[in-house]
Amino acid sequence: MPNKSIVVLALLSVFTGNAHARPYAFITNQLDNSVSVIDTERQQVVETVKVNGKPAGVAVNPQRQQIYISTPEGGGFAVIDNGSFKVRKTVKVAGASLGIAVDKSGEQVFVADWYENTVAVFDTQNFEKTAVLSVGKSPSGMTISPDNKWLFVANRIDDSVSQIDLKKLTVRNTTKVGAHPFGITLDKDGKRLYTANVESNDVTVLDTRRLKRVATIKVGARPYAVALAKNDSLLFVTNQDDGTVSVIDTVSLKTLKEIQVGDKPEGISTHPDGRFVYVANWFDNNVSVIDADTLEVVNTIKTGEGSRAFGEFISP
């Protein structure tokens, strides 16, 4: 007999008009050297793709139907076709690639190099390197503004965020946040940026128009990454050492709940429906699915060893 939550999720996908889109979640399994592909309608892994180099970061390019996977030990990234789920190309960067992001037009992919303290820029047609930008120490999480004007980069060791002008490919601003920022995300208006600060156990909220701090919100132990849901009304934060996800009301900036998930939750991303939030659990080798309406875990999906999924890992 099928799992009731799987049936409910599948029906919700049909009724909300997502059946034709078939969004997939791409989960990097760092210790397996693989990527698990989850069909979010069926709520199960439908493909496992071999990717060498200890895959970590994920970026989805819907314009070119490509998925980019950073490979820290491979010093670059892999390009996966979103139709066949085959690796089409591997690209060399330099040191240890980690954070990865693609612009809204699908024309450029950005790769954060942890050791070189740079962000490398590649075109997505021929994958030629077009620029190398110096940022802060140990760049990690990255996100692109909705208007495609800005790239924001979390500089972990420098406790800062850099704002890069995508037209000029120059750093416009750098501002201090909490201790060791890692995962970051922007709201749909591009007005607020949220950073998960691993060492200070909090989230910094920045006003992107001035890149000024709005608030600091205490969360659990060693927050890793952040994601917004329910039309940006809720912020979800993975707390690695607590095995929880903090849920924050983005209006009051108050914590509503701590949700127990798997052991060592790391990557987090939201389904295009804005309701279901996916959490990669490093030590449990699985993904928890949270219903943002009920704030409960409604499913757990077995993936591979060392599931990390750092970045925006669900296709739109």
* CATH code: domain of residue 143: 2.130.10.10
Tell me the C-alpha to C-alpha distance, in Å, between residue 14 and each of 216, 231, 298: 39, 20, 18
Report if residue 230 sits inside a domain: yes
Question: What's the token pair of residue 315?
Answer: 């296709």
pLDDT for 181 equals 98
> What pTM was estimated for this model as a whole?
0.93
pLDDT for 271 equals 97
Q: Cα 88 to chain center, whole Å?
A: 22
Residues 151 and 211: their CA atoms lie apart, in Å, by: 13
Report if residue 140 sits inside a domain: yes
- Residue 172 belongs to domain spanning: 4-311
Question: What's the token pair of residue 236?
Answer: 């979800």
Q: Can you state the percent helix, strand and coil of the chain, rounding each to 5? A: 5, 55, 40
Q: Are the C-beta atoms of residues 95 and 74 closer than 8 Å to each other?
A: no
Question: What's the token pair of residue 3?
Answer: 């799992």
Handedness of CA 47, 52, 55, 59 (dihedral sign): negative
pLDDT for 94 equals 83
Report if residue 316 sits inside a domain: no
Q: What is the largest CA-CA distance in the chain?
A: 57
- Which of 239, 255, 289 has the alpha carbon at shortest distance from 43? 289
Could you tell me whether strands 57-61 and 310-311 are parallel, antiparallel, or unpaired per DSSP bridges? parallel
Residue bearing tokens 């999906």: 301
Q: Are the C-beta atoms of residues 158 and 149 closer than 8 Å to each other?
A: no
Structurally, how many domains does the chain consist of? 1
Report if residue 279 sits inside a domain: yes
Question: What's the token pair of residue 290?
Answer: 């949270």
Report if residue 135 sits inside a domain: yes
pLDDT in tens, the chain (316 residues): 344 444 334 433 333 333 334 799 999 999 999 999 999 999 999 999 999 999 999 999 999 999 999 999 999 999 999 999 999 999 999 888 999 999 999 999 999 999 999 999 999 999 999 999 999 999 999 999 999 999 999 999 999 999 999 999 999 999 999 999 999 999 999 999 999 999 999 999 999 998 999 999 999 999 999 999 999 999 999 999 999 999 999 999 999 999 999 999 999 999 999 999 999 999 999 999 999 999 999 999 999 999 999 999 999 9
Which of helix, strand or coil describes residue 215? strand
Helix H or strand E encompassing 49:
strand 44-50
